[in-house]
Amino acid sequence: MKRYRSSTQKRAALLTISLAFSMLAACGSNNGSAPAAEQTAQPASNTPAAANSAEPSKEAAIVEITVWDKPAPDASTKAVAEELQAKFDAAYPNIKVTHEDETQTPEKFLAAVAGGEQPEVFRPSFPKMQEYVQAGIVADITDLINASPEKDRFIDGAFNMATQDNKIYGVPLSMYSTGVYYNKKLFENAGITSLPATWDEFAATAKTVQEKNPGSVGFDILGMDWGDWHFEYYVWQAGGDLTELQPDGTVKLSFTSDATVKALQYYKDLKWTHKVVQSNVLQSFEENNKDFYSGKSAMILGASDSYNTFVSQGMDPNVIGFMPYPVGPAGVGPSQVGGSFWAISPSATPEKRQAAFDYIMFMSSKEAIETRLQFNKDNGLGINPFTVVKDVDPSRYVEGMPADFLSAIRKAAETQQLEYYLKSSLSPYVVKPIQKVLLDKNADPLTELKAAEQLAQKEVIDKYNKDILSKTGN
């Protein structure tokens, strides 16, 4: 992603963010089924006392910082959050932390920034992190990260969504990845010993599993009203995306690109040529999940934390397999990732910046992660099987998790991509051609995509771009 360099472009970035929020909030919303940051915060660093600076002396001056991480009064993780905050206070008596409510409203955050009340520490989601970097409202912490002995504890790709122009702007807090779940038992029954790595192999595998397991479905496809959620993955695999954010803040549609057309043709082929998807292609996301955990469907797309759903419904953990997406015509198969980062205000003084980083690394410690995981286990809360660090094994806190599951989800997350821009506003337009080709074998992918693009351009993009340009003076 290009970085906005001029003041005009920076202003365009801020206006783009603000307008996108007002249109439906959350372009690139968290559809990957990851829980909220407060419930899944799984930080990373060796010990809480071993943050990144020398131990504070009692004579040192008090440094005050504000952190937006105060749990809601009814938050299920309130007790463990306050426990860790108290431990930090004891370990760092010279840092006074004021914990304020963490807002999930982007408008409130932007208002705080505009009013000079931006907290020293906050926790943006993956999509918001990249937007905030472009708008210049997060600090470059490359020097702090590179000087930290804890940097190498993070998994490969953990900093990707907070890195721009080789500069690092955030510390990973929580993360989920997406990929393909498969039923090991159905695969074994079909004599399949190697996982599909390409589109052609995926279709062939689905067909073989379906034929060798009477009554089963090779692959449950998502064709209901969230259909674009999974469809965009195939567009990426074909080498494209559904929208393109321009340097001036405007948006260009890519519904009719070669990549999008190839992806929709593949959907059509899975349904009508290979005949490997469920009969009711419009059934709900929950019904798709049910097909998988009941043993009817051999493969389904899902996020790393979908594992909890399947096990809670009685599926044998030893039957659950996970693999990265097979690559498409472009030779890539990126995982849609989500989660959140710790970030620091660019207006923080050097002293506050260091104090903020000390707090972040304390909350990112091995002990802090394991404290949260143990709390979740003891209280029957969901556990994200994906941590952002190498030295914590979440399978210890989830009974029966297969040894290969964690390595598979980490492998899937090595190549990452965020959901397409303005997804919330454009989703209905993308879903329509998806449903058309899944319901009508005579439907032409390019024709359907052209119609959808023209309508989306007229009803969404023209107004959006006009507003952006008028506010930036272009």
On whether the CB atoms of residues 395 and 403 are closer than 8 A, the answer is: yes
Specify the DSSP class assigned to residue 125.
B
Q: Give me the phi and psi of 442, to 5 degrees please.
A: -95, -5
On whether the CB atoms of residues 403 and 318 are closer than 8 A, the answer is: no
pTM: 0.81
DSSP bridge partners of 98? 66
- Residue by residue, pLDDT tens for the chain (474 residues) are 333 444 555 555 555 565 555 543 433 334 444 333 333 333 333 334 444 444 544 567 999 999 999 998 999 999 999 999 999 999 999 999 999 987 657 788 888 888 888 999 999 988 888 889 988 999 999 999 999 999 999 998 899 989 999 999 999 999 999 999 999 999 999 999 999 999 999 999 999 999 999 999 999 999 999 999 999 999 999 999 999 999 888 999 999 999 999 999 999 999 999 999 999 999 999 999 999 999 999 999 999 989 989 999 999 999 999 999 999 999 999 999 889 999 999 999 999 999 999 999 999 999 999 999 999 999 988 888 888 999 999 888 888 888 789 889 989 988 999 899 999 899 999 999 999 999 999 999 999 999 999 999 999 999 999 998 987 776
Q: Which domains does the chain have, with CATH numbers?
A: 31-177+337-412 (3.40.190.10), 180-334+420-472 (3.40.190.10)
DSSP string, 198-257: BHHHHHHHHHHHHHHSTT-BSB----STTHHHHHHHHHHHTT--SEEE-TTS-EEE-TTS
Residue 352 three-state SS:
helix
Question: What is the 3-class SS of 10-43, one letter each residue?
Answer: HHHHHHHHHHHHHHHCCCCCCCCCCCCHHHHCCC
Instruction: Provide the H-helix boundaries in 25-125.
Output: 37-40, 78-91, 106-114
Which contiguous run of DSSP H or E holds residue 163? Answer: strand 163-164
On whether the CB atoms of residues 162 and 296 are closer than 8 A, the answer is: no
On whether the CB atoms of residues 301 and 241 are closer than 8 A, the answer is: no
Amino acid found at 408 = A
